[in-house]
Amino acid sequence: MIYELRFAVERDEYTALRSILIHSIKPYDLAFCEQFDEDEYAFLINGEAQEVLGFCDEISKRIPLSLNFKFLHFKNIESDDFKPSLVPDLPLVLDASLMQELSNDPNKLPKYLDNFECKDIPAALNECINRLKANNLVIKTALGNFKFGVNIEALSKESSQDAKLLFWDISMLKTHMRVESGQVEALASFEKPSMMLMPKEIFCDTLGGGIRECILPFDAFLSVLSAYCLKQDIAFSFFVKSSEEPFISYDQNLPKSHRIVVSKDGFILYDEISAKSLQEIINAHKMELEIKDASKNLQASSLIMFLSKKNEMFFWLRGDGVKSVLDFEFECSLHELFQEILATKDGDKLCENFKKHCPELYSSFQGSNEPTKKSKNIFDFLDSVAFILGFKNVHQLFANAYTYVRDKGPRIDYKIIKNEEDELKFNYILVLKSAMSFKIAGLDDATLCYGILDSLGEFLGNLIGDMGVNFHAKSVFIFGSLLGEKILFDKILHYMPKSMRLILPKSGFLDYQ
């Protein structure tokens, strides 16, 4: 009988999965063969049902959660071209079962690490704890040379702002950070990605406050060290890159490390930029964008939305050709924005009220004589909005928004208007007027900042839906570094139609530089 185990595989990543399956089948007297597709991998087994089920039970204990592969089905199939594969020589992968075994016996570490020279491993692990408590532990890990400290003050002032957080197990991360179930599953996956997380309010002082990049133990040594840390009530460590001599040094062949953003709906975005041009990104997603409308055998239209922190924002329709469906251009000069507010209906009254309730803020931008400063980047415009509302910059606006604990903020007006040429334009001045009105009303900073971003996400999600209907678009490709901000990523996906096919950027193609 032939049985098939089939997996969905991301980015042609088969190595770890193959290693687990092939090393697990060795004790069984079962012939197998493999089939490789672009995004699926099949492992075919020839044997009696009871023995095959025994093997499946074994691998169910070994296969970890993964970003790169997921189980699709197990079934009996008919196959006339089953040809047993030779057993390839693949590196041993630390699967879930082996990791537990290693935690129980740290002396097996050399089996999984390269260039690891340590004669007394338990003693070395205890010394790591002593050094960590003294904030002086440097380890050359599988991902680089890092200095670890229990307190952020142990790190240099220059690097403490960029310090990452390593939680020694998932329960400690869940205790200290605001995290959703989908984020927890991704962090605990075989690839051990990192992501930006916000501490719970009670731990803000302890964890340095603000959003910070977090990760779980990502190699064999750190995974074993975690048990020692937890016994000493050490829940987490800050870490930064270091040029100091390491106390422990080793190498380990690991999957590529990624920083990701996980939406509430479970979509994963790789927060990485390696593309050099916009055309390189479009070319990388050409196949996804050229899906045909089967009912008409025609090229289906698709929408392309680009939201970047550095590059020009655009919203395109891609069909027979490419055309812009909405003009995005923003005034970012404080002086000019003030003049534009005055030119609108009741703009003078708004400015007088703003002057009365926020005199210092009013004088800070009203007295500016900066000439017109046009930009096609919405991040630039949000920076001007942030300054007028009393924040240092747009980064502080996002930081305040991340402290908000509810799901819906006040509605800021984002609207589209038609200009004299009957072209659609974004009415950016209305955003500023709406935000100023809430500031006058005394709305707290966290709520106001969240409302600005929540409303922007709603506007963009609804815009995708409206243009999808108007132009019969079946799919939308959304990319750009601004999506790395989870608030905006979540809100766009929440408000856009679920019926539209969503295309997200591949790893490295979030933006271009």
DSSP 208-255: TSS-EEEE---SHHHHHHHHHHHHTT--EEEEEE--SPPSEE-B---P
pLDDT digits (tens, 9 = 90+) for 383-415: 999 999 999 999 999 999 999 999 999 999 999
pLDDT at 293: 55
Structure tokens at 435: 């935000």
d(CA 200, CA 222): 25
Q: What is the DSSP letter of 84?
A: P
d(CA 275, CA 509): 6
Region 327-332 average pLDDT: 92
Mean pLDDT of the chain: 91
Name the pLDDT band for 97 (thresholds 50, 70, 90).
Answer: confident
pLDDT at 21: 93
Q: What is the DSSP letter of 78?
A: -
Owner of token pair 């930064």: 240
Length of the chain: 513
**Bridge pairing between strands 260-262 and 268-270:** antiparallel
The answer to whether 385 touches 452, Cβ cutoff 8 Å, is yes
**Bridge pairing between strands 137-141 and 248-249:** parallel
SS3 sequence of 354-365: HHHHCHHHHHHH
Report the SS3 class of residue 107: helix
Structure tokens at 299: 């090229």
pLDDT at 296: 53
pLDDT at 341: 94
Q: Decide which of 500 and 80 is more confident.
A: 500
**Bridge pairing between strands 292-293 and 268-270:** unpaired
Region 363-376 average pLDDT: 82
pLDDT at 201: 92
Name the pLDDT band for 158 (thresholds 50, 70, 90).
Answer: low
pTM for the full predicted model: 0.91
pLDDT for residue 161 is more than 60: yes
pLDDT for residue 80 is more than 80: no
According to DSSP, the residues that pair with 475 across neighbouring strands are: 302, 501
pLDDT for residue 134 is more than 60: yes
- Alpha-helical (H) ranges within 373-479 are 378-388, 394-402, 428-440, 445-470
d(CA 357, CA 352): 9
The answer to whether 208 touches 202, Cβ cutoff 8 Å, is no
